[in-house]
Amino acid sequence: MTNITTTYLGLSLKSPLIISSSGLNSSIDRVKKYEQMGAGAVVLKSLFEEQIMHEIDNLTQYSDYTEATDYLKAYVTSNNVSSYVEMIKQVKASVTIPVIASINCVGASQWISFASQIQEAGADALEVNVFMLPTDTQRTPAEMEEIYFTIANKLSQVVTIPIAFKLGTHFTNPLRIIEQLWHRKAKGVVLFNRFFEPDIDINTMKITPAAIFSNPADLRNTLRWVGMANHLIPKIDISASTGVHDGEALIKAILAGASSVQVCSAIYKNGPAHIESMLNTLSSWMNSKGYKSINDFKGLMNYGQIENPSLYERSQFMKYYSNYE
């Protein structure tokens, strides 16, 4: 009998499969269905700083009165946060699996106070999604990275629930970022986030959104950094995200060292029943290999466990394509 329970951010999960932050989690009935299908936890749809700021700009652009503008800013912000806090309370009252809140921010200002409200609402953990597009040519990479560290420092001072940072793939040295976040008391990282990407419609001559869903091939980059981070920064929990579309991908992520995986696109495409299918694949594989628990094989193929660690480092195709002309 296989045991697929695991721990992530100090939380006990009945399975390593987490439904990641998206519109999938905007309904209590959906979250209950995910729990029924075997999901170990759910990350609620994010509270977006950019969205709130956009609403404020729309309301205040025609106001010449400072007092009115300040009132509108406070009202919009408070209303959004209150709605989010209420959603946390309702979901927590409806399911038994851990409920992880998510904030999507571009700075370290008022989001610190929001985190306290999220904790008080009963969230089991907080996932912080930070990304600033580097459009300022005078701003150094170190200055951009410091924003993450500032947020981590401030959050650790105001909340006691575990914190995870959801990172993008754009860092020059992702391993340093992960290590520095650990030193600032982050309990986990999610590797990796997906961002809005632009495309160009050559017929309408307009900028349009590129495909929003991940694809299975995206898992390769995720595996590289999960495998390296699990060995080099072993104390921090890793949740593998982007490219996890089936049970085999789930297994690969755990072998690389992930404590959990986060799934989104595969559920959009296949529905909640796909959760059960992925977990059945996991259980069947564990039985075939004689593994009784997740810990029996977690990290078994990380950067430090395989015979040739350079396989995780290799970035050029020379060995494979040198004979092709």
Say how many domains are in the chain: 1
Q: Are 191 and 239 in contact (CB under 8 A)?
A: yes
pLDDT at position 80 = 64
Gyration radius from the chain CA atoms:
21
Q: How many helices (H) and strands (E) does the chain have?
A: 12, 13
Quick check: is 39 in a domain? yes
Quick check: is 1 in a domain? no
- Selected residue with higher pLDDT from 68 and 255: 255
Q: How many CB atoms lie within 10 A of CB 47?
A: 24
pLDDT tens per residue, range 158-171: 999 999 999 998 89
**Half-sphere exposure in the Cβ direction for 200 (13 Å, CA):** 2
Supply the CATH number for residue 111's domain: 3.20.20.70
User: Is a pLDDT exceeding 50 seen at residue 267?
Assistant: yes
- Structural domain boundaries enclosing 163: 6-321
User: Is a pLDDT exceeding 80 seen at residue 323?
Assistant: no
pLDDT tens per residue, range 210-226: 888 888 999 999 999 99
Min mean pLDDT across 19-33, 68-82, 222-236, 284-298 is at 68-82
pLDDT tens per residue, range 45-71: 877 444 444 333 443 444 444 443 343
Quick check: is 187 in a domain? yes
Quick check: is 212 in a domain? yes
User: How far are the Cα atoms of 16, 69, 258, 294 from residue 253, in angstroms, in the given order?
Assistant: 10, 48, 5, 12
276: closest CA among 40, 59, 21, 52?
Answer: 40
Task: Indicate the helix (H) or strand (E) that contains 106.
Answer: none
pLDDT at position 81 = 79
pLDDT at position 77 = 46
Cα–chain-centroid distance for residue 65? 40
Give me 184's structure tokens: 């600032």
Q: Tokens 């209950």 — which residue?
A: 32
Residue 82 makes CB contacts below 8 A (sequence gap 6+) with none
Quick check: is 160 in a domain? yes
Q: Tokens 């650990």 — which residue?
A: 182
